[in-house]
Structure 1
Amino acid sequence: MRDFGYDEQELVEELCSAIAALPGASAHPRMNQPRSGSRYEPDGLLDVHINQSDLAIVVEAKRELFPRDVRQQIWLLRDYLDGMDGPAEKVAMLVAGAVSRGAREILQQEKIGYFDPGGSLFIPSTSAYVLIDRPPPKKAVRMFGAIFQGQRARVVQAVIEAAPNWVSVKDLAEATGVSAATTSETLTEMERRDWLEVDGAGPAKTRRLRERALVLDEWARLIAAQKPPQIERYYVPANDAGEIARRLEDACRDAGAQYAITAEAAAQVYAPYLSSISQLKCRLQAGRVQHDVLSRLDARSVSEGWNFGVIAEVGKHDVAVGERLNGIAYAPIVQIYLDLLQGSGRASEMADHFRSERLSG
């Protein structure tokens, strides 16, 4: 396994401890593992006593588990169980430093056990059914969320927006400005999570999203657990968000700055919901050029009564633009949705409406 803070033996030992902590239960590694007719050998074999029943648990350990990984392992474990002798009930289990939500659902459906160091435990025994569902470890949360950060996030957004069309690595790399290597890695990770359909192989390989909701729901859960991004608040002399948008376009054009309007003001353009919008949020190229734009807008920093917000993002040097409408630059539609989720007031209502209008399917 790649480094995730645990190796196979440590995960098996953690599983033993978790089972032993159950009322009236015990778990002991079998020192001499009898070979079945299969060439496959698991990472552990446990003799378990629980609820006055004896179980022989076959354990396979992985760094992390996503739906595709689970499907590849299930038949190996079942084949191994078929070759085992002895009176104890045979149970297959997968243990990992991180078990994704999708992987857990498949394992429960297929009656294959699982365990992670966060304390989640599933033993699908006919005589001692155990299901403990706990939040994943912090390391696992960071790992699950890595696909929604940085350059990878741009690729994921592009795949979502392209649905239901087929896309290639070349198409996405050109559309997002992300390297072909990072684009390919991101698509492979999406395949592991069972989010993509695949056609062809090699350079001709194309993919498309199975269902937008699968990815958006996962991204929304991650967003809900994070702090909202910092917003630098200003007052700009203007009557409404539309006037601010036009002034922002003029100022950025003159200063040579990148920008993209997002959240409520952008959602109102794509999928009108409120009678009027008085505040505008955007991403604006950082550095000296940003100060130039703010000066051209006559923007004044305020703590209350703001109507112009700049979303501050550490480490980003460029601004992703979805499209330009009537000469105004707007963020990609997925980014607009995500920014609404982190808003206040009626932003959550707008997020639901915007998703149903622009990101259904």
Structure 2
Amino acid sequence: MALTGAEELSLQEEVPFGEQPRAARLDALLRLRLPIGGELDVAIEVLAQAYPRDILQVVHQLRKYREYTTSGPQPLELAVVAEHISPGARQELQDAGINYFDATGSMYFRHRTYLVVRQVIGAQHKPRRPVRLFSGAREKVVHALLEQWRRTQRGEVLSGADLSIEAQASTYTVSTTMQELEREGWVETTGAGPHLRRRLIKPEGLLDAWADDWVSRKENRSRWHVLARSNLVDTVLDKLQDYDGWALTGAAAANAVVPHLTSVDRVQVIVPPGHAEAWADQSQFKKAEKGANVVFIEREGASLMFLDTHPERPGSRFASRFVQYLDLLGGYGRDKELAEEFRRHALHMKAKT
């Protein structure tokens, strides 16, 4: 309990409670002395992997124990300990007033006015999902699902075939991805077999998890300078008009969606992997680690889905609003602050909690 500053006084395992002979059992009961003074009991249930659907039973068990011990001599808090707790499960535990700790070192511990929170992003653990959810074809499914939600603002019910077309991914990839999203509690499923349909019910939670993965990535970026005699964005668009597989992103693109969001003194461009040096040379961009006004980011896949053209700039290619938002989060200067404004006005989503 080093992070909380609390001292362990005792630990009991397999603690029976309830009416005999069919008494329930609590996995562990921990007694602590807090640094703010006083002693505290923590009722603990243990899981291997914790996703929203997995925690329903343990939350019920913990609440039953609290009801049974309401007259105990010590104040009581509830907690879940697991090898891995998914982002969706973490949020549901917090909403239920239940503390947690997992093997990555992430924890949430609250007792009255005493609060310790530690979220470890990108830590190593053994999640149940066989591959990263936000990569390759699965990331394209996530992007397509969010984009469909943004267009309708209702979270329409979708078949796997419909989403497969939108995401340009196989029906198998769609199915396995949606199963992971359902496990997280972001998607709900109705029907079965050919009548099975899914709907996005927690778009903010899905986007926040995607953002956590996005900002932890290491990408090939190169910085350049171009002489712009007028508007920088128009200059860059003019230089790139004969190429394929690129898109403007970050603040420059976001400002086209929400005008006057910010002044633009640097343009970020998604370019195909391995093409940055050649394109820059052919477009007469100068290498510039300092004073750069153009950044090439080498990407493919989901980053180039749902491109948009600005009506006042024929031939322009802007990344989707979700990619613009994600790149603002990992951007420069005030970009992170602007991301929240863009999230509200362009994505019509609540601020990140």
TM-score, with length taken from structure 1: 0.70
Deviates more, 1:331-340 or 1:269-278: 269-278
Q: Does 1:175 align with 2:166?
A: yes
Secondary structure at the counterpart of residue 118 of structure 2:
coil
State the partner residue of 1:5: none
**Aligned CA distance change for structure 1 residues 147 and 293 (closer, same or farther; 3 Å):** same
SS of residue matched to 1:343: coil
- 2:110/2:116 contact within 8 Å kept: no
Q: How many residues align?
A: 329
Sort the Cα spacing of 1:129 and 1:140 in 2 relative to 1 into closer, same or farther, 3 A: farther
List alignment gaps of at least 5 residues for structure 2. none
Q: CA 1:193/1:329 → structure 2, altered by over 3 Å: closer, same or farther?
A: same
Q: Deviations over 1:98-129 (max 9, x none)?
A: 224543443355465644232737599xxx99
- Cα 1:165–1:25 change in 2 (3 A) is same
1:186 aligns with 2:177: yes
How many angstroms apart in 1 are the aligned matches of 2:147 and 2:302? 20
Structure 1 residues 317 and 70: CA distance shift in structure 2, 3 A: closer
Aligned pairs for 1:330-349 within 5 A: 330-349=318-337
Distance 1:281 1:95, change over 3 A: same
- Select which of 191, 201, 209 maps to 1:210: 201
Give the alignment of 1:53-92 within 5 angstroms: 59-63=45-49, 65-75=50-60
1:279 to 266, 289, 301: 266
Match of 1:198 among 189, 194, 198: 189
In structure 1, give the amino acid aligned to 2:199.
R
Of the candidates 147, 155, 169, which is equivalent to residue 161 of structure 1?
147
CA positional deviation for 1:58: 6.6
What is residue 245 of structure 1 aligned with on the other side? 237
Match of 1:305, SS state, is coil
Structure-2 separation of matches of 1:115 and 1:38? 32
Which 4+ runs in 1 deviate beyond 6 A? Answer: 32-42, 51-56, 76-84, 87-92, 128-131
Aligned 8 A contact 1:265 1:277 in 2: yes
Partner of 1:241, secondary structure, is helix
Counterparts of 1:174 and 1:40, CA distance in 2: 53
SS at match of 1:266: helix
Work out the CA distance in 2 between the residues paired with 1:115 and 1:276. Answer: 43
Task: Give CA-to-partner distance per residue, 1:196-234, whole Å, 9 cap, x none.
Answer: 24333334333333243333344445556x377442122
CA contact (8 A) 1:283 1:312 kept: yes
Distance 2:238 2:126 in 1: 39
TM-fit CA distance, 1:350: 3.5
Question: In structure 1, what residue type is equivalent to 2:182?
Answer: E
RMSD of Structure 2 on Structure 1 (CA) = 4.4
Say if 1:228 and 1:340 are closer, same or farther in 2 by CA, change over 3 A. farther
1:17-96 alignment, distance < 5 Å: 22-23=6-7, 25-30=9-14, 45-46=27-28, 48=30, 59-63=45-49, 65-75=50-60, 94-96=80-82
Give the deviation of 1:160 after TM superposition.
1.6
The AA in structure 2 aligned to 1:242 is D
Residue 328 of structure 1 aligns to a residue in which SS? coil
**Contact conserved, 2:225 with 2:285, CA < 8 A, in 1?**
yes
Residues 334-358 of structure 1: CA deviation (Å, up to 9, x unaligned): 1111111111133234423322221
Q: Equivalents in 2 of 1:292, 1:183: separation in Å? A: 36
Identity of paired residues, percent? 27
Out of 260, 268, 278, the residue aligned to residue 255 of structure 2 is 268
Amino acid in the other structure paired with 2:256:
V
TM-score in terms of structure 2 length: 0.71
Question: Quick one: distance in 2 between partners of 1:175 and 1:119?
Answer: 35
